[in-house]
Amino acid sequence: MLALALLKDPLYRTYWLALFTSQMGTWMQAAAQAWLVLLLTGSAERLGLVVALQFLPALLFSLPAGVLADRYPKRNLLLLTQGGMMLLALLMAVLILTGLVRYAHVLIFAFLYGALNAMDLPVRQSFTVELASRDRYPGAIALNSFGFNLSRLLGPAFSGLLIALYGVEVAYLANALSFLPLVFVLLRLPPGPGGEGGNGRWWWEAQEGIGFVLAHPLVRRAVGLVLFASLLGMNFQTLVPAYARLVLGLSATGYGFLLSAVGLGALLAALVMAFTGRPKPGRLLLGVFALALAHLGLFLPYPLWAPFFLALGGFGMISVLINANTLVQLAVPDRLRGRVMAVYSLVMLGTGPLGAYLTGLLFELLGGRWAALVLGGAVLALGLYQLKPWPRVSSPPA
């Protein structure tokens, strides 16, 4: 098992544990942010706007981040992005604690935090391959996804408990503190190699990554599927809090429980991937149909089944993302890795603004159950279209 072998590597194990701690804080903050917006506004549409603003920077910064990842030492870039997100979370905690926070502050915070995250994601994904090495990368992505989704399971539950006991600001403070172990680990690592210096024209360099995605049949198909699945079926940051508060009328604790149900399904998908080896296009389709069924299930008038369907949605989401990510990473040459993963990040995160706002708007116009039915039907149509034969999985390039 490559995933278990990586944990025996002291360097990678230390990095993974620090990254897991940071991800725990991130999910605690994500749950707190959604709850804070609903407390301030009571509007699913305004919540969708916040989530949209947090994902919008992916459209602006993902491609430049990919160029930077191929030019400069990735460790140094991660120190900048991780440190910046830590300072933003601390500032937001202070605003809430002093009673000065307003909806406009949340909008600004969401955009700035999203900008740093958009820069961070392609760099971090490329750094994972650099740290783990190419031959161990399938195990690394399975292990990282396991940690990510374990934090997705535990973080919202802890956040709901902290919000109920102490207030929303504590979750933001916890996230700020959670960055410290990762920053400390990164400082202890060597800077690592940089890439070619480039000619100063980042757009021409970015186009090389775009060209690879469009020219490679399997990569193009996987990235296209992620685009539409993210747009229509992965907007749980808007769907879950709106469904919990506006449809089921749950408290913060109940909301955290529903978010943890998504995390439980996602964790199961990560474990399946860790124990079943290399990715396959068929598992992408399984994930799409699971996403469709999850949304369709929320239309049913059986609220006690909501955790089950949300867990199914989490399973489908991570099944799509792990398999697509690994298929793309194994197909790309090392010199283009940052730029190609920037395109992947752009597609995955860049659809967030429209998808989040669309989900919130459908809740406002149709109500929660009918909104889930419309989204589920659209994802089902996507899965049926993707049943046509897939290109063969090619061997990794030298």
* pLDDT given for residue 24 in this prediction: 92
d(CA 174, CA 153): 16
Question: Nearest to residue 54, comparing CAs of 34, 40, 74?
Answer: 34
Q: Cα angle vertex 235, ends 232, 237, to 5°?
A: 170
Helices and strands in the chain, H and E counts:
17, 0
Question: From the first residue on, what is the mean pLDDT of each consecutive set of 10 residues in the chain (398 residues)?
Answer: 70 90 91 88 83 80 80 87 95 92 92 90 80 73 77 80 87 94 90 58 76 87 90 82 80 77 84 72 86 89 85 91 83 79 81 79 83 90 84 57
In this structure, the number of other CB atoms found within 10 A of the CB of residue 39 comes to 12
Catalogue all structural domains in the chain, each as residue range(s) with its CATH number: 2-186+202-385 (1.20.1250.20)
The letter for the amino acid at 319 is S
Question: Nearest to residue 121, comparing CAs of 76, 160, 66?
Answer: 66
* pLDDT given for residue 111 in this prediction: 93
d(CA 239, CA 355): 10
Cα 395 to Cα 12, 174, 328, 334, 389, distances in angstroms: 25, 43, 11, 14, 19
* pLDDT given for residue 17 in this prediction: 92
